[in-house]
Structure 1
Amino acid sequence: MTPRPSLFDDWIRDEISRIGAFTALIVLVKIEDHTVRPLRSSHVHVMGSDLIWSDMAQLFDKAGADWDGVLFSVRTDPDDNGPIADSAAKIALKDHVQSLIEDRTLLNAGHFFDRKGRRLRVDEVAAQ
């Protein structure tokens, strides 16, 4: 029996169909009580829709971090609408992680998934 595609699989196909190739900034996170903490980050140039959740999750598991969720944030080159250069991706990723540390609700601006490839969102909670 073929496994059912995850929401990640649907998203990647739709994103490629809509904008073509792009760079995804990736941030693995730990979810604890009322906080989300960035653990590891990287970027990938997505050229086609053959990228599937099960392969990505296996790569994330090899990152050496006990992760609960992952954020994908799409970036395209303003000149040609394709993937951004590696040097630009590294700078964008550093800035992106710092912004997430300062404001976790920015997780909702990207494509946030749990370990099973299902969509997540962050809601603010009142201080207790």
Structure 2
Amino acid sequence: MTDFDDWLRATFAETDGFTVLIVVLGLGGGRVDLLKSAHLHVIGDDIDWPRMAEHLDGSGMAWGGVVMFRAGREGLVADDIARDRLDQLARALNGDRTLIRDGEFFNRDGLRMRLDDAEPQPPVLN
């Protein structure tokens, strides 16, 4: 069991089905890069972290984390609405990575992560 598994089961129990917006992230060197995005209709709680990670690996990207957002409080949303909301989310995240804090942020092991403010780094002088 991972934090992802706990979140998925709890959210499904609350909603009896929901649409999730997924943003695959590259993490490293103090950077958070948006790599790929998709939406998924969750109609059961039987997908576990290893299967989800396989799907994320299928993106072909070297990812370090993923952030997931419910597409709406109404539960399941239509594909066209999910696509529009995902596009809006990607544009918002492009401008402000701190919005990741509003989602469910997981590492490659399916464990919750937290996005902290970066401390300013002093310039390196040669």
Quick check: TM above 0.5? Answer: yes
> Offset at 1:93?
0.6
Q: 5+ residue gaps in structure 2? A: 122-126
**Partner Cα separation in structure 2 for residue 25 and residue 121 of structure 1:** 18
Taking every aligned residue pair, what percent have the same amino acid on both sides?
Answer: 37
Verify: 1:55 aligned to 2:46, yes or no. no
User: Superposition RMSD on alpha carbons, in Å?
Assistant: 1.1
- Does residue 67 (structure 1) correspond to residue 60 (structure 2)? The answer is no
Matched, 1:122 2:112: no
Cα deviations across residues 59-92 of structure 1 (Å, max 9, x unaligned)?
1111110000001100236xxx231110011111
Mark the structure with the bigger radius of gyration: 2
1:19 CA displacement: 2.2
Would you say how many aligned residue pairs link Structure 1 and Structure 2?
121
Paired with 1:92 and 1:57, the residues of 2 have a C-alpha distance of: 23
> What SS class does the counterpart of residue 31 from structure 1 fall into?
strand
Aligned to 2:95: 102
2:80 alignment partner, one of 79, 84, 87: 87
Amino acid at match of 1:83: L
Deviation at 1:33, TM superposition (A): 1.9
Per-residue deviation, 1:123: 0.9
Three-state SS of the structure 2 residue aligned to 1:76 is coil
4+ residue segments displaced more than 6 Å? none
2:28 corresponding residue in structure 1: 32
Match of 2:106 among 105, 113, 126: 113
Distance 1:73 1:124 in 2: 20
Q: Which residue of 1 aligns with 2:6?
A: 10
What is the alpha-carbon distance in structure 2 between the residues aligned to residue 70 and residue 11 of structure 1? Answer: 14
